[in-house]
A and B are shown apart, each in its own frame.
Chain A
Amino acid sequence: DTEVTQTPKHLVMGMTNKKSLKCEQHMGHRAMYWYKQKAKKPPELMFVYSYEKLSINESVPSRFSPECPNSSLLNLHLHALQPEDSALYLCASSQDFSRSYNEQFFGPGTRLTVL
């Protein structure tokens, strides 16, 4: 099974709301990633978890809070977002984060709109 799932597919939230994005993989991968993609731009890396520990945080504002409860799940908690945070949020996983085994597989994304 080479599938990464994400929920919800679409999310509309106000600037005072708290919401969470969820990502799940059952490929036995030990690295998971969050990306943000604005229209007509490439995905931008936000966070990397390796063996359930946060390995990379690309200077993401604290209103985005990642969580990796176990090796199959990755959450992104959202609080007090701004309209400019509206984007497609993509989750990915890879076998690990070493140089040799990091072919990434992506989920379908969550399209977030902040009003």
Chain B
Amino acid sequence: GIQVEQSPPDLILQEGANSTLRCNFSDSVNNLQWFHQNPWGQLINLFYIPSGTKQNGRLSATTVATERYSLLYISSSQTTDSGVYFCAATGNQFYFGTGTSLTVIP
């Protein structure tokens, strides 16, 4: 199966700071999603981004499929951004990344 690695594994930010989360995948994928898992366990869809760049408010994502990576940018972070961020890639199946645990402190 496809290996999906995320970095960094843990990240602590001061409120208002910007950050970049990375997702590397080991083989060609058809699609890629970014999720935010809140402290209650709900996985919230952030982006469905097989290629290119998308923006949604303070968040944006870029996937370069030919180089097998995707980036999630968080600008002006808020305490409510805390949680775990997962990327998930689709090849012949659905593969979750290892996750980045983000803590935003006031």
Residues of A within 8 A of B90 (CB): 99, 102
| Tally of contact residues, A, Cβ under 8 A | 22
Query: What residue in chain B is nearest A41 (Cβ atoms)?
Result: B99
Task: Tell whether, in the assembled complex, residue A103 and residue B31 are in contact, meaning their CB atoms are under 8 Å apart.
Answer: yes
- Complex CA–CA separation, A43 to B96 (angstroms): 7
Residues of A within 8 A of B57 (CB): none
Contact of A42 among B30, B31, B86 (CB under 8 A): B86
Interface of B is mostly: strand
Is B52 in the interface zone, CB < 8 Å from A?
no
Given contacts A100-B30, A109-B42, contact A42 B94 (CB under 8 A): no
A-contact 0/1 string along B14-46, CB 8 Å cutoff: 000000000000000011010100001111010
Task: Tell whether, in the assembled complex, residue A42 and residue B96 are in contact, meaning their CB atoms are under 8 Å apart.
Answer: yes
Residue numbers of A with Cβ under 8 A of B are: 33, 37, 40-45, 56, 88, 90, 92, 99-100, 102-106, 108-109, 111
Task: Tell whether, in the assembled complex, residue A104 and residue B41 are in contact, meaning their CB atoms are under 8 Å apart.
Answer: no
Task: Tell whether, in the assembled complex, residue A106 and residue B98 are in contact, meaning their CB atoms are under 8 Å apart.
Answer: no
Is B65 in the interface zone, CB < 8 Å from A?
no
Contact of A111 among B33, B41, B43, B101 (CB under 8 A): B41
Residue numbers of B with Cβ under 8 A of A are: 30-31, 33, 35, 40-43, 45, 48, 86, 88, 90, 93-94, 96-99, 101
Cross-chain pair count, CB within 8 angstroms: 48
Residues of A within 8 A of B88 (CB): 104
Task: Tell whether, in the assembled complex, residue A103 and residue B41 are in contact, meaning their CB atoms are under 8 Å apart.
Answer: no
Task: Tell whether, in the assembled complex, residue B99 and residue A42 are in contact, meaning their CB atoms are under 8 Å apart.
Answer: yes
Residues of A within 8 A of B31 (CB): 99-100, 102-103
Residues of A within 8 A of B99 (CB): 41-42
Question: What's the minimum C-beta distance from A20 to chain B, rounded to whole angstroms?
Answer: 19
Given contacts A100-B30, A103-B31, A104-B88, contact A45 B41 (CB under 8 A): no
